[in-house]
Chain A
Amino acid sequence: MIIRNHPSVLVFLILLGLFTLGVTLMSEATGTAMLSTSFVKTLGKTLCLALVAIAMDLVWGYCGILSLGHFAFFGLGGYMIGMWLMYARTEAIVANAAAAEALPPTPQELSDSIGSQIFGVVGGSDIPVVWTFAHSLPLQLALVVLVPGVLALVFGWLAFRSRVAGVYLSILTQAMTLALSLYLFQNDSGLRGNNGLSGLQNIPGWEDVPQSVVSLRFFWASAAALALAYVFSAWMVAGKFGSVVRGIRDDEARVRFLGYNVEAYKLTVFTVTAIIAGIAGALYYPQAGIINPAEIAPIASIYLAVWVAIGGRGRLYGAVVGAAFVSLVSTWFTGGQAPDINLGFYTIKWVDWWTVLLGLSFILVTLFAPKGMGGLVDLIEHRRAPDRHGADLGPDKGSFREAEQQ
Chain B
Amino acid sequence: MTTLLEVQGISVSFDGFKAINDLSFEIGAAELRAIIGPNGAGKTTFMDIVTGKTRPDEGAIVWGERNVNLLRMNESAIARAGIGRKFQRPTVFEDQSVFDNLLMALNNKRSPLRVLLYKRTRTDAERVRDLAAEIGLEDALDRRAGILSHGQKQWLEIGMLLAQEPRLLLVDEPAAGMTKAERDRTVALLRRAARTRSVIDVEHDMDFVRKLDCKVTVLHEGAVLAEGSLDHVTRDQQVIDVYLGR
Interface of A toward B, CB cutoff 8 Å: 236, 239-241, 243-244, 246-247, 250-251, 253-254, 256-262, 264-265, 268, 393-400, 405
Chain A residues, Cβ within 8 Å of B93: 243, 246-247, 250-251, 254
A254 close to B111 (CB less than 8 A): no
In the complex, 26 of the A-B residue pairs with CB atoms within 8 angstroms, ordered by the A residue number, are: A236-B116, A239-B118, A240-B104, A241-B115, A243-B96, A243-B104, A244-B104, A253-B53, A256-B75, A256-B76, A256-B79, A257-B76, A258-B104, A258-B164, A259-B77, A259-B80, A259-B164, A260-B115, A264-B112, A265-B112, A393-B143, A394-B148, A394-B149, A396-B152, A397-B149, A398-B150
Shortest A331–chain B CB gap in Å is 35
B51, closest chain A residue (CB): A257
Shortest A160–chain B CB gap in Å is 12
B149 close to A399 (CB less than 8 A): yes
Shortest B81–chain A CB gap in Å is 9
B104 close to A264 (CB less than 8 A): no
B112, closest chain A residue (CB): A268
Chain A residues, Cβ within 8 Å of B150: 398
Instruction: Select one of B77, B79, B100 contacting A258, CB under 8 A.
Output: B79
**By the criterion of a CB under 8 Å from any partner CB, how many residues of chain B are at the interface?**
39
B 144-157 to A, binary, CB cutoff 8 A, 1 in contact else 0 = 10111111100000
Chain A residues, Cβ within 8 Å of B94: 250
B115 close to A244 (CB less than 8 A): yes
Shortest A374–chain B CB gap in Å is 15
The CA of A240 and the CA of B110, in the complex, are separated in Å by 10
Q: Given that A247-B96, A257-B79, A258-B160 are contacting pairs, would A241 and B116 also be in contact in the complex, using a CB cutoff of 8 Å?
A: yes
B160 close to A250 (CB less than 8 A): no
A250 close to B95 (CB less than 8 A): yes
A261 close to B110 (CB less than 8 A): yes
Chain A residues, Cβ within 8 Å of B43: none
The CA of A32 and the CA of B185, in the complex, are separated in Å by 72
The CA of A268 and the CA of B111, in the complex, are separated in Å by 10
B84, closest chain A residue (CB): A257
Chain A residues, Cβ within 8 Å of B84: 257
Chain A residues, Cβ within 8 Å of B190: none
B238 an interface residue at 8 Å Cβ cutoff? no
B103 an interface residue at 8 Å Cβ cutoff? yes
The CA of A265 and the CA of B95, in the complex, are separated in Å by 19
Instruction: Select one of A243, A250, A394, A397 contacting B100, CB under 8 A.
Output: A243
Chain B residues, Cβ within 8 Å of A236: 116
B112 close to A259 (CB less than 8 A): no
Closest 9 CB pairs of A and B: A259-B79, A396-B149, A398-B149, A259-B80, A399-B149, A241-B116, A268-B112, A256-B75, A240-B118
Shortest A395–chain B CB gap in Å is 8
A249, closest chain B residue (CB): B95
The CA of A253 and the CA of B84, in the complex, are separated in Å by 13
Chain B residues, Cβ within 8 Å of A261: 76-77, 110-112
Chain B residues, Cβ within 8 Å of A260: 76, 110, 115
Chain A residues, Cβ within 8 Å of B105: 258
Shortest A370–chain B CB gap in Å is 14
Chain B residues, Cβ within 8 Å of A243: 93, 96, 100, 103-104
B85 an interface residue at 8 Å Cβ cutoff? yes
A265, closest chain B residue (CB): B112
Shortest B156–chain A CB gap in Å is 12
Instruction: Select one of A240, A264, A265 contacting B103, CB under 8 A.
Output: A240
Chain A residues, Cβ within 8 Å of B77: 259, 261
The CA of A150 and the CA of B39, in the complex, are separated in Å by 49
Chain A residues, Cβ within 8 Å of B92: 254
Chain A residues, Cβ within 8 Å of B112: 241, 261, 264-265, 268
B143 close to A398 (CB less than 8 A): no
B 101-145 to A, binary, CB cutoff 8 A, 1 in contact else 0 = 001110000111001101010000000000000000000100110
B69 an interface residue at 8 Å Cβ cutoff? no
Chain A residues, Cβ within 8 Å of B103: 240, 243
